[in-house]
Amino acid sequence: MSKDVIELYHCTDTRSFRPLWLLEELGVDYTLTPIDIFGDGKTNRDYLTINPNASVPTLKYNNNVIWEAGAICMYLCDMNPKSGLSPDVSSLYRSEYLKWMFYVTSTMEYPLVDLFLHSKLLPKEKRRQSVVEYSLERYKKILVVINNSMNGNNPMMVQRPYMIGHEFSVVDIMVSSTLNWFPELLHDFPHLKSYVDRCINRPSFGTAMEKN
């Protein structure tokens, strides 16, 4: 059987860290190709033929090209089913898996992106304090939802160590990496803080950070 050829196009401190972390967790061989999406000219022409969005991540898996961090992570798990990092279609956890994988990109990220833009990235004259305040309000509601899902605020129930059951999964890569964008916002959520620490203390996170 021929060996899979895997190449991840990555830019430091972007969403492409998620599949990078997952690749380290999977322990598979891959090539990491750096792309500077923030530099002058944004990206080179060759990369635009692979991803016309001029964004990262992009994954080449043999002859397949995939965009979007969540889609890439799901695909990598589908291609490596023995890893146990995603539940199979017959699992009771499959619906939870799908829900949280899409929740991160469809709901959780939006207030954080606005918060980042209007507190750090945009020129000061374009920042809006009202957007910052509204984003913080929205994000705190999201933190409550995640915390409650793990029974983080109920001492009478067993607190879940991970998002879907008691084993680490790709959902935890998606959720914990996003929570770690603004770790200072977790001060009212000690269970979530412990959860993030538990995830990022995995050896795979450390090796991914060295390559980030």
Stated pTM of the model: 0.94
Res 43 pLDDT > 80: no
Strand partners, 10: 34
What is the pLDDT averaged over residues 203-210? 98
41 has pLDDT over 60: no
- Tens of pLDDT along 66-117? 999 999 999 999 999 999 999 999 999 999 999 999 999 999 999 999 999 9
Give me the residues paired with residue 58 across strands.
9, 67
CA distance 48 to 54: 6
- What whole-number distance in Å separates Cα of residue 168 and Cα of residue 171? 8
Which SS3 state, helix, strand or coil, does residue 171 take?
helix
Please state, in angstroms and rounded to a whole number, the distance separating the CA atoms of residues 161 and 157. Answer: 12
Distances (CA, A) of 23 to 6, 116, 128: 10, 27, 38
pLDDT band of residue 165 (cuts 50, 70, 90) is confident
User: Which tokens hold the place of 32?
Assistant: 């990491």
* Confidence grade of residue 1 (pLDDT, cut at 50, 70, 90): low
Say what the pLDDT of residue 44 is: 75
Separation between Cα atoms, residue 177 and residue 112, nearest integer Å: 12
Q: Which one, of 212, 190, 199, 148, lies nearest residue 169 by Cα?
A: 199
Q: Distance between CA 113 and CA 116 in Å, rounded?
A: 5
Mean pLDDT estimate for the chain: 93
